[in-house]
Structure formats: structure tokens, C-alpha cells
Structure 1
Amino acid sequence: MVAFGMIKTSVLSLKVLKLPSSKIEGSRQLKCKASKMELTITQPDDWHLHLRDGEVLQAVVPHSASSFGRAIVMPNLKPPITSTAAAVAYRESILKALPADSVFSPLMTLYLTDTTSPHEIKLARESGVVFAVKLYPAGATTNSQDGVTDLFGKCLPVLEEMAEQNMPLLVHGESCSYGSVAATVTPQHLLLNRNALFQGGLQPHNYCLPVLKREIHRQAIVSAVTSGNKKFFLGTDSAPHEKRRKESPCGCAGIYNAPVAISLYAKVFEEAGALDKLEAFTSFNGPDFYGLPRNTSKIKLTRTPWKVPESFSFSFGDIVPMSAGETLEWQPSSI
């Protein structure tokens, strides 16, 4: 099972962690200073992100911009981003919402519909700002009512043009048996199993799609991601919803993990004894797949406990983050 897959329509290194004094391997550096451990890695990117629009966009984009250099931004707004012109306009809205000193770069996507044209794919590639097309089967997830009803019937000419333009198709999938398929994986699918939805009563803030899996499947995902396989890379699927919309009779699917994602990924790799493979997963495999240069900036991860806020309060309401109220061991910072 993969949390999020992509197909190229034509398709990740620190072995340490038993802690000697210092280890340098490429751009990765691990240091032990007394009881403090620091890890320096290339700036990560987020290859699956929901930023919403309006007030929510302005509220949440600083969290992603503080941790990531770039992000593939999902197009399932109301109305969805179905044209290159709309993607360009949405990108401008994101850039305007960024903190003044931010260098965060949004990588835009188009929302595939039954009426998407091959010409639109050409425009998208020529724009220089659209990097993929997202498939939402009609009615399958948040704001997917405009999605595809007949992929290989109505959309075949578009898929052929995407192959011609080397434009990835982004899908939710559970198979990675082909050479041109890769997958982003979320922190929640690495750390939580389906019991997290029900322990102590229903837990709406742990509800996401794809839904959390059995423990045996969670372990399999961790093994795949921490193996060093270049087909897997970071994609948070961070999806902010107001607290009142999560804690409702029909709670929205999506976990807001942007403020804690890097800390949680570090936790996963440390527990697997694979911190030497963290940087490839967070910072190398994604840009390599998309044919983009790796970031040159760095971040520092310090093993310093910090407590996650119970919620973030904004003018429109509260948003509850993943791991709310918990203490995490790794804290990221810019260099």
C-alpha cells in the first residue's frame, strides 16, 4: 500500500545512529554534543500538499514554508484548478501569502476532468509552473465532485499527451509494480494504524484518505520507506480542516501535519535504525523523480524535546495538528 503514487506517463544516504562521535557522508552530517544530537540535511521538499485558499491558505502556508523548499500543491479547490491560467493565478495567491523572507516555491498541478484537453496539457508544460496532473475519481475525496468518471475512455487522449510531455499523473494507488511508478508517503501512514481511529472513542483528527491501515501494513510501509528504495519520497498530504468540521457528524478526511512532519519522519527513521537514509527520502528522491535540481540549502534537526500545540487558532477557527499535545524528540531549524 502506498499513500500517494505518481506515474511518469512516458516514471533515494547516513548509516549511523548507533552514535559514534561524528559521521559525514555526502552532505549529511550527524554530530553528538554531550547529550544533544544534531543532524544536518539538505532542505526537504513536500511532494503532496494541500494549502487550500483564502484565509486558510494565509494561515497554513507559513508552516510548510518554514520546513520545505518546494511543494507539489494539490488542485482540489472550489472550483478546482482545471486550467493552466487558474494554476498560475493560484500560484500567485500562494506567493502573496508567504512570509516576506520566504524562498518557498509552489509547484502547481492541474485537476484532471473528463473534459481536460490535450492542448491544456501542452499549455501546462509550456507554463513552467505546472509539474503534474492529479486524478480524482469522481466523489472519492474532498472536493472531487468534478473528478474523472471514465479514465481510459474520455481521458485517453489527455494521457497520451501527458506521455508526450513527460507530465506525471498523480493518483492514490496501492500498487508499485511498474518501473515508472513512485510514491510519496505520509507521516500518519508510517506512524499510525487503524486502531488510532478508535482508541478511546472515535478520533476524527486521525481520519484521512487513504484510511489508516492494519499494523502489518504499517510495518510494511516503514520497511519500504526506510530501505533506501528511490521510488519512495516525502509527501505529507497535509490537509487542514477547521476543528468544527473534523468534529462533526460527517468529519472531513485529512490530517494537518505540516507543523510536525519533519520531526515525525525523523522519528520513523530513527526508530528503524535508518537515519542514514532520511535525507534521500526527504530531499533527494523527489526532485530526482521530477527531474528537478536538488535544493542547495540545509536544515538542522536537533534532538531536543518540544511539545506540539493542542491547536492553532486563526480568525476563522482552530486547526488541530497531528500529534497535538504530544512531545516530539526532533526539532528542525533553518541554517
Structure 2
Amino acid sequence: MNTETLGILKKLVEAPSVSGFENTARKIVADFMREKDLEVKVDVLGNVIGSAGQGDLKIMIAAHLDIVGFMVTYIEDNGYIRFASRGFDARVVYGQHVVLHTPKGRVYGVVAAKAAHLTRPDEREKAVKIEDMAIDIGAESRKEVEELGIKPGTPISPPLILRKLVGDRVLGVGLDDKAGVASMLKILDYINCQELPLKLYIVATSQEELGLRGATVAAYRIKPHIGIAIDVTHGLQHGVDARKVGGIKLGKGPVIGIGPNFHPKIVETLEEAAKKAEIPYQLEPIFGSSGTDAAVIQLSREGVATGLVSIPLKYMHSFGEIASLNDIENTAKLLAQFIKLVAANTQEYCFE
């Protein structure tokens, strides 16, 4: 197990970054990039863009920094807090611990859940709607809540914890896509960026969960010839037929996307890179848009030769996602080898 990968991932997971509120995590990523001697810029949407190398060919590697979460919409006179959800299924929210992120610090609470003793039998058979839920922080008035710095618009997340499980497995919140960001940063350990005969851009994108917004503007700004998105994909898990997830499993290596969202030459080179580096890999057919940053990168300006490498994940968009550290590490190694292959023959990848 790579302890450095675990350390990077832990820092990222523990940093708040609900979509549109990524500032704390953004600073961690920017500092890491600077330590690796990348030139770092942060654009108006909050994308962190690190660059290095020299040459006409441009490669953009992107992984989104934001996570799904909640936002305060209304504070009741009795101190209960109403909220909106982005990305979470109501079934996994009821009764969960949450954290409200304020300028004064973190405030902890729970999504109020009526005790089973007090519910009717028919109530137990259906999920409570988000609009019928409220957060209890222990306050008994609106004034108490507001004095803590909580107001409409305050972002809310699950508790930001990463735990080590059996073997190389880790359990955490927001591994979609903090696992991808950790892998992207680890690429820098396997290549000498400054000596590359091409321009490499490492981009931690913002607001992916709100509609791929960060990647849209970052790709427009960079104008890459090649764009690779790192994200997560569904791995085999309890209660899910293997056919539903294409047989993809945790611990069996990164997943290379195949389909109209991805340029055949890029897919070919990703597979070649995996074989050359002796990295196990899996394939995921996607017959349409991937719904990842790769979807908008491909359509930027005159078009970009795009690829997708995904990390298998269990229980996506829940309060406890599970991933494999080996998959995260191997994703970094695969993409480092991919960059080396492209660097060895840049003219072949200009796609002019």
C-alpha cells in the first residue's frame, strides 16, 4: 500500500468542497502543485490549473475537485434548518450526521429522523422527501442558529472522514472525485514535467456536479490537443448484478472508456500505456456522452481528442464510498506512461 497516496487522499477528503464552495480544497491542491514546481493559476470559476513543459502539443488532464452536498434554504423559528440536496438520493440522507461549513467554523448536526416508535407502519415503507427533512443542530431558535454563522446558502456536507478498511480499500465521502484528484496529483511523481517536449496541464476542475462547468471553461482557456478526464465509475457491489456495471471490479485496475465520447487513437494509446507499464486495466463501453468532464472537453472549440480513465467505486453519491488505493495508484502510473508515449511522438497526436 502506498502511504503517500493515502496521505494525499486523506487531506483532500477532509477538505470541504461542496460544488461551488471548493476554496479550502483548492488551496491544498494549488500548494501541492507549487511544491512540484508547476506554474499555478486559479481561474474565475475556481479551477486550479497547473502547467509545465515546453512544446506546441497540449495535454489537459482533469479531475473534479467538488463533491455532492447540500445547502441551507431556510431557518425555522424553532431552530430547525431546511436544506436542498444536490446529488444525494433521499434514501441515504434521512437520519445522517452532517456538517455545516460557516465562516466561523464547522457546525455539526443530524438530519432529524422520527423514531420508529412514533411512526405509522405506512410511513416506514417509503422514503422521506428532502423537502420534508430538517437538520437539528441542538438550537431552539433562529437567533441561536444565525449566531453560529449559519444562513441561507451555507454549504453542508456529510462528515469529511477517510477510513482504512481491509487490504487496500478505503472508505470515505466524496471519493467521487477526490480519488481522481489524488491520482492526478500522483502522476507528478512518475514524470519529469519540466523536461517534457509538450505542454502539460493538470486541472482540478470545479462544479462538475452542477453540470461540468469548470471543465467547460478550463478547456476553452487551455485549447488542448488531448484531454483526459479522471473520474470514478460504478464497481461491482452488494445487490447489483455484474451486468449492470459491466463486470467492473475494485482492485482490478483503472477503467478505460470506449465509445463516441473518446478518440480511438487516445483509447489505443491508453491501452498501450497500461500494457507497457504492466498495469491491470478494465474497459467500459459508453455508447454516448460519458457525463464526465470528458464530455465537455471533447466539444470545446474545434474539438479535442478525448479519453476517460475511471477509478472503480462502490456506493457512489452516498455517505460512505469505497475505493481501492491500488486502483488510484495504478491510474496515476497509467497516465504517466500515456504522457511518456505521447511525448515520444508528439507529431502523431496534434490532430490538426
Classify the TM-score, shorter chain.
Answer: under 0.3
Q: Which has the larger radius of gyration?
A: 2
TM-score, L = length of structure 1: 0.25
TM-score normalised per structure 2: 0.24
